[in-house]
Each structure stands twice: as structure tokens, then as C-alpha cells.
Amino acid sequence: MEKKNNQLVFQDIENRSRNGAFIYGAAWFLISFGTGFIDTAPVVFYSILSGFVILGAGRLLITQLRAKTKLIPFKFWVASIYISAVVPALMTSILFSLSFVNPLFEPMFNYLLMTLFAIISGGLVNFSPRSDLSYTYLTALVTPPFITSAFFSTSHYLEGAMLVTYGLFMMALSRRLGQEYEQRVRQQIELERINNQDSLTGVSNRRAFDYRFAQEWKTQVQAKAPLSLLVIDIDFFKNINDTFGHAAGDEVIKQTANEIACVFKRQSDDVARIGGEEFAVIVPNTAHYLVVQLAEKIRRKVEKAPIEFDDEHLSVEVSIGVATCIPKEETTTELLFKHADSCLYKAKNTGRNRVIAEEIV
């Protein structure tokens, strides 16, 4: 849940702050143009502008690559968010500090001061979901002017003190907003879990299965990698219900789901309950023969693990249909499901408690 929480938080931060990727460069251009800095120090102007543009463009590039290819590691993406947030803020803060002591930058003083107050407020909105990021961002903005006004240009101590005071106030406000945001994210994750999880077994429900199956199909189309589907049905389940009651049937379903989930532990695999006593497992990037071996492992585990219910030992068996293919754009998930379901039907009609598999060429 914590990992899911982090992914949602950083994706939201990315969405919030994406439009501000080039705001620092735009502000620098307008201030330099308005004060004539472009003409008086063109090399310095273009060097700083290039830095702002490179940081903004680099961040957008990483975001696009992650969205389209999923090849950018999560930690690298997070690092790019931190760098693109803190470094431009620090650069702007240093430029403001230079306007205290360097005559070349002095005409920019008022404009840079207004810019700092504006981006402090904007950063509070964008980065409050992560308190460590918002604190680092605000610290980068207020520290250089504070040090400069305290030790190198005491005539500007009032501006430095005002900026620090405002920054501290924003830190406190950011902390409160972050706590409220975290609570909303946790509520969202819990609601998503309720909507996508089968209440009896804890595995995915049919709604989540259909969505995940469609997404995995698209992914494997691009990767040109195999995708397998297992359809699993509990044999003679109606007899269990009729003989021992629905409570016993529920226990059989729960224990069977647990046995299946114990075999398919990879994060990429997805176990779902798609009907009363029917389950499905999505298995990407795995050779057909290995998937068949895993299916046989499930069958044996269920067969050898009788379920105890009200002092009764219930013998349970399953029939499994397995189908594997390399997804193509001109086909859909229905192809794989149809073949897996057909294999299950054959397993049922040839004696049950067996695995029937097919590799679609």
C-alpha cells in the first residue's frame, strides 16, 4: 500500500507542476528584457536561460518516456522531480541574492523579490503532498537571501527577514496541507481496493480482472512477449454446497484462492475470481511450458490439501485450462480467453482434476 501511495503522490506532483517546467526561464527572460540585462550581459543571460531550459526540457522528456515506454525506473523519475523542483528555485534565489551585492544584477532586485514570493506560493500548492520536497524547495528559496542579507549586505536585512518569515509560514502551512492530502490519498487507495477486490477471497474481482487483462494485452503487444491465461474451476462445487451448505462452499472458495495466490506471487501476475467458483490468472512474460507446470502445481496443491470445515475433511479438486499467445494489435483479449475457456471445457469433459493447455501460434 505504501508503494501505491508513493506512486499516486508523485504522479499528482508531476501533474501539478508540469506546467511550471519553463516558468523560471520565462520569468528570467522577462526580467532580463525589462531591465536591459540581455544587452548589458548577454553571455550571462543566455547561460542562465540555457540552464533553466535544460532543466525544464529534461524533466518533460523523462516524464514522456516514462508514460510511453515505462522504461524509466521509479527512483530515477522521482529524483528528476526533486532536481527539477529544487535546482531552478535555488538558481532564482541565488540571482536574487546577487542583486543585493552585485551592481550588474541590482536593477533586477524588485522583480526577483516579487518572483520569489510568487514561486514560494506556487511551490506550496505543487509540492505540499510531500513534506520533504516542499521543505527542501522552500529552504532553497530562502537560504541564499538570508545568508547574503545577514553577512554580506546588511542594508537588505529587512527583505531577507521578510522572505524567511514568509518561508517559515509556508512550511507550517505545507505541513498541514500535506497531512490532509495524505489522508485523502489513503482514502482513495482504500476505495480503489474495495472496488477492485473480491470481498470473499481478497483476490481481484471481475472488474479489476477485465481492466488488468486489457492493459496487459496492450503492454505485451508492444513488447511482443507471451501472455498466458489460466481459467480454473472447482470440480463438483455444487455437490459441496448441497451437501455441506454455503458456508462450506465459501470456505472452499477462500482456500482455493489462497492456494492459487501462493503459486503466483509475482507482482506482474494477477489472480482473480471471475465467477462463483471460477478463477483466472494472468501471467505475462513467461514461457508456455512453465505456465503449464505452474498450473499443474496448483492442481496438485489443491488435491493434496483437504479443507477442514465443522470437523469434516472436504476433498477439493480443480480443472484448469491454459492458453498462451503473443498478443497482436489485430486481435483482442477475447481470443486468449476463448482458448483458455475451451481448454477448461475439455478438462471438465475428460474426467476433471486435470490441466489442458494450448499454445496459440
Annotated catalytic residues are 277
Kindly report the backbone phi and psi dihedral angles of residue 270, in degrees, each rounded to the nearest multiple of 5, phi listed first. -135, 120
Grid coordinates given for 284? 505475462
Nearest to 9 by CA among 131, 170, 122: 131
Given a contact cutoff of 8 angstroms between Cβ atoms, the answer to whether 228 and 324 are in contact is yes
Using CA of residue 20, residue 23, residue 25, residue 26, what is the dihedral sign?
A: positive
d(Cα 231, Cα 282) in Å, to the nearest integer? Answer: 9
Cα–Cα distances (Å) from 102 to 5, 65, 153, in that order, read 46, 41, 10
Given a contact cutoff of 8 angstroms between Cβ atoms, the answer to whether 301 and 282 are in contact is no
* Residue 42 CB coordination number (10 Å): 11
Q: What dihedral do alpha carbons 117, 31, 126, 64 form, nearest 10°?
A: -170
Given a contact cutoff of 8 angstroms between Cβ atoms, the answer to whether 6 and 132 are in contact is no
d(Cα 91, Cα 51) in Å, to the nearest integer? Answer: 9
Grid coordinates given for 76? 530515477
- The stretches of 152-205 forming alpha helices (DSSP H) are 157-196
Cα–Cα distances (Å) from 27 to 119, 255, 273, in that order, read 10, 62, 55
d(Cα 277, Cα 255) in Å, to the nearest integer? Answer: 11
Nearest to 317 by CA among 347, 350, 352: 352
Nearest to 343 by CA among 220, 228, 203: 228
